[in-house]
């Protein structure tokens, strides 16, 4: 298997692989253009986002600056909005549903590193996917870790660190993030 194939199936891989380095450079070149654009250049922004991401369902809006590793592993549903300073380390798939809102400084990490220092120092890492359902609001300064699924109709409170999956129809917050309550009829 190539290092990219290992990366995409969740096995240990070497991120320093020449092909992966080239793919990250390609993404960074697109990101450089995107993050330097005049905000009035909406058509050009949309063109660059379509070039960067693996799948999009317009309309979407991504405020600059935005950062990611590869871009092609990110799939966005319709009506996606990301506020300033979003970072998505997309070494594995990041699938985001319809009608999802990100506050500023949201970070999604699919990459992880071995606990064993010798393996980590040798450059090994792994990547596990992140999935976010439909109708989700992620508050500012939230960190979402590898292998997390966030259900539909969820609110994640600002400053949360999401280390495990969150079910549908709840409000969750904290470090580590935990379910606080169900979304109820009174919330309408």
DSSP three-state, residue 60? strand
Options 3.30.70.1140, 2.160.10.10, 3.30.230.10, 3.30.565.10; CATH for 3-187 is 2.160.10.10
> Is 19 assigned a catalytic role?
no
| Residue of 26, 28, 67, 113 marked catalytic | 113
> How confident is the model at residue 187, as a pLDDT?
76
At residue 185, the pLDDT reads: 74
Q: Where are the beta strands (DSSP E) in 69-116?
A: 74-76, 80-82, 86-89, 94-96, 101-102, 107-109, 111-112
Neighbours of 70 (CB within 10 A): 22
Pairing of strands 155-156, 170-174: parallel
Angstrom distance (rounded) from CA 146 to CA 73: 14
**pLDDT < 50: residue spans in the chain:** none
* Tokens 């250049």, residue located: 41
Q: How many CA atoms lie within 13 A of 161 on its CB side?
A: 3
Enumerate the domain spans of the chain: 3-187
Task: For residues 128 and 132, give the distance between their C-alpha atoms in angstroms, rounded to a whole number.
Answer: 14
């Amino acid at each position: 298997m190539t290092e990219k194939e290992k990366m995409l199936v969740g096995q240990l891989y070497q991120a320093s692989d020449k092909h992966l380095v080239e793919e990250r450079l390609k993404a960074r070149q697109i990101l450089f253009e995107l993050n330097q654009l005049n905000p009035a250049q909406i058509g050009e922004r949309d063109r660059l986002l379509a070039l960067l991401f693996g799948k999009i369902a317009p309309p979407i809006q991504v405020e600059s600056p935005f950062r990611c590793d590869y871009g092609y592993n990110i799939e966005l549903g319709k009506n996606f909005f990301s506020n300033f300073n979003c970072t998505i380390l997309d070494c594995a798939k990041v699938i985001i549903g319809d009608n999802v809102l990100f506050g500023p400084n949201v970070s999604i990490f699919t990459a992880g590193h071995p606990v064993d220092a010798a393996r980590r120092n040798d450059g090994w890492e792994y990547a596990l996917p992140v999935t976010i359902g439909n109708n989700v609001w992620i508050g500012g300064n939230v960190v979402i870790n590898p292998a997390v699924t966030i259900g539909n109709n969820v609110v994640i409170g600002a400053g949360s660190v999401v280390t495990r999956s969150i079910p549908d129809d709840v409000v969750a917050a904290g470090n580590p993030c935990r379910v606080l309550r169900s979304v109820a009829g009174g919330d309408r």
